[in-house]
């Protein structure tokens, strides 16, 4: 796990008077699942949105798969985006399309010369691997929260990305479905050989899925390491309260 696929140095981002990221440094290694933990509004999602060019940093550098994201032209950025899968917090499935059309959408636009049979096989294979083969003709409104997350992950996997970004994958789900989603994140890494960043404030998710965890507090990473290194004997009060709330109070 030595090859770096993401390298972040001195990243800063503000919205108006609010400084969200204050000189963030972070590395993601090939084949690794890195969990970024932090309170709501701490800038976790902002970090991965900068990674795919949805937001631009004020200063600092963000290198993804050897490319400095902020320096890329639209075409180069789109080429990079094809190598990154982004699973959104609310799944962001296209309301007006069926599950099949949702999965077809990125595929037919980015990979030419695929036959209808190949497209169908790919979609059915992916739905099988996320455990929802029966949903192929359903509309997103007919799916539960957990099913939507799975379909969202399947849609990002259809382009076979090298890096997966999960934005709050377990938010708003019951504990059993959370467990299923955590298993899916691990399964995706094993089956598709991806490196992942999982954004969450759910410590169970962090413990189950992360090779390393990084805690984002006050715009900077306070602790980076394995779950056991960072928790449960953290000396920093804020990290300790984070752990206590998740594992003792609940």
Partner 1 sequence: MTEKAEDRKPLLSKKIDKFFTGLADAWNFVRRFFKEVFVPPYEFKEVIHQCYRIGVESLPLIALTGFIVGIVFTNQSRPSLANFGATSWLPSLISIAVVRAMGPLVTALIAAGKVGSSIGAEIGSMKVTEQIDAMEVSATNPFKFLVVTRVLATTFMIPVLVMFTDFVALMGSFLSVSANENVSIITFFVEVFGAISFLDIISSVLKALLFGFTIGIVGCYKGYNSSKGTEGVGRAANAAVVMAMFLIFIEELLVLQIVNAIRAF
Comparison of 45 and 246: residue with beta carbon closer to partner 1: 45
Q: At CA 190, angle to CA 43 and CA 227, rounded to 5? A: 45
Task: Evaluate whether 93 touches 140 at the Cβ level (below 8 Å).
Answer: yes
The backbone region for 41, taken as left when phi is positive above 0, alpha when psi lies in -120 to 50, beta otherwise, is left
Number of H helices, E strands in the chain: 9, 10
Residues in the interface with partner 1 (CB under 8 A) total: 30
- The nearest distance, CB 229 to partner 1, in angstroms, is 32
Among 7, 12, 101, 222, binds partner 1 (CB under 8 A): 12
Q: If DSSP codes are grouped into helix, strand and coil, which group holds residue 250?
A: coil
* Minimum CB distance to partner 1 smaller for 57 or for 129: 57
Tell me how far apart the alpha carbons of residues 63 and 85 are, in angstroms, rounded to a whole number.
16
Chain residues 176-205 in contact with partner 1, contact rule CB under 8 A? none
**Joined tokens for residue 180:** 């299923």
Question: What count of residues does the chain have?
Answer: 250
Q: What is the DSSP letter of 68?
A: E
Q: Pick between residue 86 and residue 227 the one whose CB is nearest to partner 1.
A: 86
Which residues, numbered 58-117, are part of the site for partner 1 (CB under 8 A)? 58-59, 78-79, 81-82, 84, 86, 88-90, 92-96, 105-106, 109-110
Q: Where in 150-179 is the site for partner 1 (CB under 8 A)? A: 155-156, 159
Shortest distance, CB of residue 84 to partner 1, whole angstroms? 7
**Smallest distance from partner 1 to CB 94, Å:** 6
* Residue placing its CB nearer to partner 1 in the complex, 93 or 234: 93
* 144 belongs to the binding site for partner 1 (CB under 8 A): no
Which of 148, 143, 64, 158 lies closest to 111 in space, CA to CA? 158
Query: For the chain, how big is the Rg over CA atoms in Å?
Result: 18
- Say which residue the tokens 């999965």 belong to: 103
Query: Which of 213, 239, 238 is closest to 226 using CA atoms?
Result: 213
CB 120, min distance to partner 1, A: 18
Out of 2, 3, 16, 249, which residue is the one contacting partner 1 (CB under 8 A)? 16
Interface residues toward partner 1, by CB under 8 A: 12, 14, 16-17, 49, 52, 54, 58-59, 78-79, 81-82, 84, 86, 88-90, 92-96, 105-106, 109-110, 155-156, 159
């Amino acid at each position: 796990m030595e090859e770096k696929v993401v390298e972040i140095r001195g990243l800063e981002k503000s919205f108006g008077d609010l400084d969200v990221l204050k000189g963030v440094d972070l590395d993601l290694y090939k084949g690794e699942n890195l969990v970024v933990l932090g309170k709501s509004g701490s800038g976790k999602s902002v970090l991965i949105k900068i990674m795919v060019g949805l937001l631009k940093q004020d200063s600092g550098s963000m290198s993804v798969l050897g490319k400095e994201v902020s320096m890329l032209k639209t075409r180069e950025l789109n080429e990079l985006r094809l190598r990154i899968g982004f699973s959104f917090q609310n799944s962001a499935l296209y309301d007006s399309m069926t599950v099949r059309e949702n999965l077809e959408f990125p595929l037919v636009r980015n990979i030419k010369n695929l036959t209808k049979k190949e497209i169908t096989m790919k979609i059915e294979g992916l739905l099988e691997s996320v455990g929802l083969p029966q949903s192929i003709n359903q509309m997103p409104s007919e799916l539960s929260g957990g099913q939507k997350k799975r379909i969202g992950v399947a849609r990002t996997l259809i382009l076979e990305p090298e890096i997966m970004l999960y934005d709050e994958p377990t938010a708003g789900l019951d504990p059993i479905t959370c467990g299923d989603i955590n298993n899916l994140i691990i399964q995706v890494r094993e089956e598709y050989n991806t490196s992942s960043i999982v954004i969450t404030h759910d410590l169970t998710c962090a413990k189950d899925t992360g090779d390393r965890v990084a805690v984002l507090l006050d715009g900077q990473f306070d602790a980076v390491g394995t779950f056991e290194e960072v928790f449960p004997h953290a000396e920093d009060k804020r990290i300790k309260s984070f752990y206590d709330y998740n594992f003792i109070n609940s």
